[in-house]
Amino acid sequence: MTLHDESTTPPAWSPESIRAEVERIVQLHESGEIPPIVQLGHPVLRMPAADFADQLDPALLRAFLQTMREVMIDAPGVGLAAPQLGVPLRIAVLQDLYESVPEVAAVREREPLDYLEIINPRYQPIGNRIAGFYEGCLSFNGYQGVVERPADIATTFRDVDGSAVKRNFSGWQARIFQHETDHLDGTVYIDKALTRSLCANHEYPRWANPGITEARAGLGF
């Protein structure tokens, strides 16, 4: 345990300061660097992100989305929200094209998810089906925990061209969409996790089964 008595005040975010931060991140990426993913403790991860309302011009928005996509792939991850780069805007990118063991994919209802950009996303459950599985987060390095989530959701969002989209997701795709959209509300998966399920990445192979039955018995959650 360490003691820190320094006090800092989180910055106030205006449309101008958001644009300036996005320009900085894009320029960093264009210089050949991968912008860092912010970790828990950064205030932007705990604040509601602002609805995207053309704070960025179309060219800068596209450049930012491309930067987000490459950061996500480099991590590697299956989703990334703008607050994870320190930007409080309701923007996220999703993609899950990784190979999965067929048995695991079947239990988790994991289907490939082509690259998707979601702006101002919202979701709500469809029906009462709930699924619990381990999740990790690029902003909470080193740990995974079980989160119980609606297995079927209805979503709304806009695409990069401003068109309104309505789309339903199920299974693992629904989990990814919820995880990233939660970031835009200042929520990280550990807020919803069954805390006794939490395990360090190097311990996770003990529980890396298609389902969580053995983890429930072994960790008591």
Q: Is 135 a catalytic residue?
A: no
CA–CA dist 29, 52 (Å, integer)? 22
Other beta carbons less than 10 A from residue 75's beta carbon: 15
Nearby residues of 76 by Cβ (< 8 Å), 6 or more positions away: 98
Catalytic residue selected from 33, 135, 180, 203:
180
Other beta carbons less than 10 A from residue 17's beta carbon: 13
Nearby residues of 168 by Cβ (< 8 Å), 6 or more positions away: 126, 152, 153, 154, 155
- Strand-strand pairing, 130-136 and 91-96: unpaired
Phi, psi of 51 (to 5 degrees): -55, 140
Tokens representing 64 are: 């930012």
Tokens representing 121 are: 């996303």
* Catalytic residue annotation: 180
